[in-house]
Structures are given as structure tokens and as C-alpha cells.
């Protein structure tokens, strides 16, 4: 593999090619982004070798194409590949969150000797854009690779080998299974989080304190509702079949829960919460899943001047970077008056160790 063409130079695309360039410096990488400044930045960072003039000419010269664009744009690029001349054995992969739409082109592309291997790296950051890309972004994160046709097995191995230095944990799935699983653990929770926000807003008409008191745990459990609306519009439309089925199941479950509460049986209500707690406590703690992780630490500090600067001083001495710091006024079910956010679980663990050496802090 000598030439790679990447379309989309954001955080994910930039991090992928940065890793490839580091481990395979002799591979020639051509890059393109709708926003010209991202192409210019990538070139100045030396993670691409040239900027594409247009899609067709760069695609025709490529041995591998990475589509790091929104799902529906990737589908359009996939269709475009059916119309242009490409190298024999061209491999195409993407980074989208849904797969059935793009994978519907797999057999058609095969007839042109184009091998489609869908990709979904389950990693992210609180910062976006190629300027914030890093070659280790995918380390220990799940990276799903998708193909349905047996003829693409060799291409799958080649893509996996190319991305192996990212130190991601690779999973192979069919497109159908991928969209179902991510619908359950990622897409549907986004719908619920956004619905909870709408419910909160509607109830502010009843009491202004609904919004005020939502500053604690409610804000945390609805964090994902702050995601990019354009991206989630596309994901919802692409995975609507699974989402509708999941919503029907959810509505049925909520009806059962309503009846449980109306009945008022203390033992059954206890079992409802206990069984949920038991299952949640069994979920992986340190694994990066389909939802972007946050690495937060809640710290109890005395209410006196200088305590926040003392916390930051201690962390600074240990060379631990904080991405966000927030004083919590509403702390029901949250142990701590200060919430610190970190780039990684390793930074958070180091912060716990540093702060635990001081008796003033309860973590």
C-alpha cells in the first residue's frame, strides 16, 4: 500500500492519519476537507503530504481511501466511486457511527474490484478539529470493522494490520449487528437524553427551580444531549429502523414501570432498582465503549478561601492537566463539592493519588 486518500480532516480522521504517518512514514497521504483551513493545518502539521484538488482524481490514484466524513456524505462518496476509474483492489473504509447505508454498496463496489471495510472507532475528545488530533486517540478504545461479503476478508486483514499501531481493540461485526448494538448502547440513549432535556424545559413553566436544580446529577446523565445536532440528525435517519423498534420496547417498559409504581408494592419497587443497580455494577469500568467517556473526579473541600487554588496547585506539581473544573451547588447523589475533568483515566487515577496524600480531601 503506497497511497492513501483521506476525506475529512477532523479529530477522528486527523488522528488516524497521524498514527499512520508516524508508523508508516513512507506512505503518501493525500487529504481533503470541506473546510480548506483544516487541509492547510494538516499539511502544516505534516500528517498529509498534499491537499487533494478534487475527489475523483485523488480517488483514482489511491490504494486505500478513508472516509472520515458524516455518514450520509460517506454514502455519497461511496456511490461516486461506482462512477469513476479506480486502481484494481482499491480498499475503502470509513469512520461513521452507522453502517447499513454505506454497506448496502458493498456488493456493487466488489464488482468494480473495490473492497469496502466499514469502520467505527469508538473514541473521541472534548476538543475537535485536526489541530487537536493525536496518534494515540484510539488506544484501548474499541474499533469495529464491518464487512458482509467473504471476498472482503483479505481487505479486512489489511485494514486491521494498518490500524494495529493505534493499539485499539478490534471487533468484527456485520453491518446489521453493528447498527443494532450501537442503537442500544449509543443512539437510543442520545434520543432519551434529548427527550429528558425537552421535558425539563417544558416543566420550567411550572417552576423556575426545575432548571436551577437540574445543575447536578440531571446535567450529568444528560451530558450527551450536548452533542452535534447535524451529526445526530444523520445517525437517527440512518438507524431509524432500529431506533423505532427500541422506542416501542421502551414505551412498553415504561408502561410496565408506571403500573409498578401505581401498584405501590415496596418489594417489587425495590427489586426494580436493585436489579438495575446489579446489572450496572457489572458493566466494564475502565473500557471505552460506544459513548464517549468522561474522566471526572468529585472532590470534597472545606468552604474557605484558597482551597480551589490549593487543589490546582497540588495537581500542577504532579504535572496533571485538568480539562475542566466546576463548583457544584446541587450535589444530591454526588460525593464532592468540586468536579474535576481529565483527559484520560490515567490522569484521573494520578490525581486521586496526589490528592489522597492530603487529609483535607475526601474523594
Q: Band of the pLDDT at 230, cuts 50, 70, 90?
A: confident
**Beta partners for residue 24, in sequence order:** none
Closest CA to 182 of 248, 96, 279, 105: 96
Higher pLDDT, 223 or 194: 194
Mean per-residue pLDDT, 310-339: 69
In this predicted structure, the answer to whether residue 362 has a pLDDT above a threshold of 70 is: no
Lowest mean pLDDT among 99-103, 126-130, 318-322: 126-130
pLDDT reading at 353 higher than 70: yes
pLDDT band at 291 (very low <50, low <70, confident <90, very high): low
Mean pLDDT of 71-96: 96
Nearest CA to 225 out of 199, 262, 195 is that of 195
> In this structure, what are the phi and psi dihedrals at residue 349, rounded to the nearest 5 degrees?
-65, -40
Please list the alpha-helical segments (H only) found in the chain.
11-23, 36-44, 55-61, 71-81, 100-103, 106-110, 153-163, 175-182, 188-203, 209-212, 217-221, 229-238, 240-263, 266-281, 307-317, 345-355
The pLDDT of residue 342 is above 50:
yes
Residue with cell 490522569: 347
| pLDDT of amino acid 322 | 82
Strand order in the sheet with 28-32: 50-51, 28-32, 3-7, 64-67, 90-94, 114-121, 142-146, 169-173
Residue with cell 505534516: 46
Average pLDDT of 344-358? 78
DSSP 8-state assignment for residue 152: G
Mean pLDDT (the chain, rounded): 87
Lowest mean pLDDT among 40-49, 223-232, 299-308: 299-308
pLDDT value for 140: 83
Check whether 333 has a pLDDT greater than 80: no
Phi, psi of 90 (to 5 degrees): -55, 135
CA distance 122 to 140: 10
Residue spans of alpha helices (H) in 71-127: 71-81, 100-103, 106-110
> 332 and 217 in contact (C-beta within 8 Å)?
yes
pLDDT, one tens digit per residue, over 146-171 is 999 999 999 999 999 999 999 999 99
Is residue 351 a contact partner of residue 315, using CB atoms and an 8 Å limit? yes
Q: Is 117 helix (H, G, I), strand (E, B) or coil?
A: strand
Alpha helices by DSSP H, 217-356: 217-221, 229-238, 240-263, 266-281, 307-317, 345-355
| Owner of C-alpha cell 466546576 | 326
pTM of the model: 0.76
Q: What is the pLDDT of residues 86-125, one digit of tens each?
A: 999 999 999 999 999 999 999 999 999 999 999 999 887 6
Domains and CATH numbers, the chain: 3-173 (3.40.50.720), 178-281 (1.10.3660.10), 295-355 (3.30.70.260)
In DSSP terms, which residues pair with 29 in a beta bridge? 4
339: nearest Cα among 305, 297, 281: 297
Tell me what pLDDT residue 126 has: 57
Helix axes 11-23, 36-44, angle to 10 degrees: 30
pLDDT band at 363 (very low <50, low <70, confident <90, very high): very low
Position 8 scores a pLDDT of 95
Please check whether residue 59 is in contact with residue 86, taking contact to mean a CB–CB distance below 8 angstroms: yes
Amino acid at each position: 500500500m503506497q497511497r492513501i486518500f483521506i476525506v475529512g480532516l477532523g479529530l477522528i480522521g486527523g488522528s488516524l492519519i497521524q498514527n499512520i504517518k508516524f508508523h508508516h512514514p513512507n506512505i503518501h497521504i493525500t487529504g481533503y476537507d470541506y473546510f480548506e483551513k483544516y487541509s492547510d493545518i494538516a499539511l502544516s502539521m505534516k500528517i498529509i503530504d498534499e491537499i487533494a484538488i478534487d475527489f475523483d482524481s485523488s480517488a483514482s490514484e489511491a490504494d486505500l481511501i478513508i472516509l472520515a466524513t458524516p455518514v450520509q456524505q460517506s454514502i455519497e462518496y461511496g456511490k461516486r466511486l461506482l462512477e469513476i476509474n479506480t486502481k484494481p483492489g482499491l480498499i475503502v473504509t470509513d469512520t461513521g457511527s452507522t453502517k447499513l447505508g454505506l454497506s448496502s454498496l458493498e456488493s456493487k463496489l466488489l464488482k468494480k474490484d473495490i473492497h469496502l471495510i466499514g469502520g467505527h472507532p469508538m473514541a473521541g475528545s472534548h476538543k475537535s478539529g485536526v489541530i487537536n488530533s493525536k496518534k494515540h486517540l484510539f488506544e484501548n478504545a474499541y474499533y469495529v470493522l464491518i464487512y458482509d461479503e467473504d471476498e472482503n476478508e483479505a481487505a479486512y486483514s489489511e485494514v486491521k494490520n494498518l490500524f494495529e499501531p493505534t493499539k485499539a481493540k478490534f471487533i468484527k461485526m456485520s453491518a446489521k449487528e453493528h447498527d443494532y448494538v450501537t442503537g442500544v448502547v449509543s443512539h437510543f440513549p442520545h434520543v432519551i437524553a434529548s427527550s429528558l432535556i425537552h421535558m425539563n424545559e417544558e416543566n420550567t413553566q411550572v417552576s423556575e427551580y426545575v432548571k436551577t436544580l437540574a445543575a447536578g446529577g440531571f446535567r450529568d446523565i444528560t451530558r450527551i444531549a450536548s452533542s452535534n445536532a447535524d451529526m445526530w440528525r444523520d445517525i437517527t435517519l440512518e438507524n431509524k429502523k432500529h431506533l423505532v423498534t427500541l422506542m416501542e420496547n421502551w414505551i412498553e417498559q415504561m408502561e410496565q414501570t408506571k403500573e409498578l409504581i401505581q401498584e405501590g408494592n415496596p418489594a417489587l419497587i425495590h427489586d426494580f432498582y436493585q436489579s438495575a443497580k446489579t446489572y450496572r455494577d457489572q458493566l466494564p469500568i475502565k473500557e471505552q465503549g460506544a459513548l464517549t467517556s468522561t474522566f471526572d473526579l468529585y472532590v470534597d473541600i472545606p468552604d474557605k478561601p484558597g482551597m480551589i487554588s490549593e487543589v490546582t496547585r497540588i495537581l500542577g506539581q504532579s504535572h496533571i492537566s485538568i480539562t475542566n473544573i466546576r463548583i457544584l451547588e446541587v450535589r444530591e447523589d454526588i460525593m464532592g463539592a468540586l468536579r474535576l475533568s481529565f483527559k484520560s483515566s490515567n490522569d484521573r487515577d494520578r490525581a486521586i493519588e496526589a490528592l489522597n496524600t492530603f487529609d483535607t480531601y475526601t474523594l
